[in-house]
Structure 1
Amino acid sequence: MTYATDRLYQEVAYIAYHFHWGQDEILDMEHRDRRRYVEEIAGLVARAGAEG
């Protein structure tokens, strides 16, 4: 099974936007690590929204 290209672009954009990491650095990550960062960022964003 291949990972949807659109989904990959979304993950890269999300991590790059929040952590200011480069595309190559993000794409070099294992899939599970990239997904974990996406989940962690989403949690940070949700907590920040709840506080604001």
Structure 2
Amino acid sequence: MRAPVPGGGERRGGILSYPLKALYEEVAFIAYHFHWPPESVMNLEHADRRRWVSEISVINQRVNEGTAT
């Protein structure tokens, strides 16, 4: 049985996995910048990990533009 998905479409069941390459890139990025052990970063929820990646990227952009505060 297929369940409706918000916004249209159908859910076909099963588990979709996050691409392993992207996961390792995020873990390396956060671990490098925050000096957190990779295991700690891996244990973050996906949304939290993506948020940290985004925040670090904003900081890096400001530093590169010379507008860090």
* TM-score normalised by L of structure 2: 0.73
Unaligned runs of 5+ in 2: 1-15
Q: Determine if the alignment matches structure 1 residue 37 to structure 2 residue 46.
A: no
Greater RCO, CA 8 A, separation 6+: 1
What RMSD, in angstroms, separates the aligned Cα atoms of the two structures? Answer: 1.1
Q: Determine if the alignment matches structure 1 residue 21 to structure 2 residue 21.
A: no
- 1 or 2, which has the higher strand percentage? 2
Residue 10 of structure 2: aligned partner: none
The alpha carbon displacement at 1:18 in A equals: 0.4
Aligned residues: 52
The alpha carbon displacement at 1:30 in A equals: 0.3
1:2-40 Cα deviation digits (max 9, x unpaired): 100000000000001100000110011000000000000
Q: Which runs of 4+ in 1 moved over 3 A?
A: none
Specify the structure having the higher radius of gyration (Cα): 2
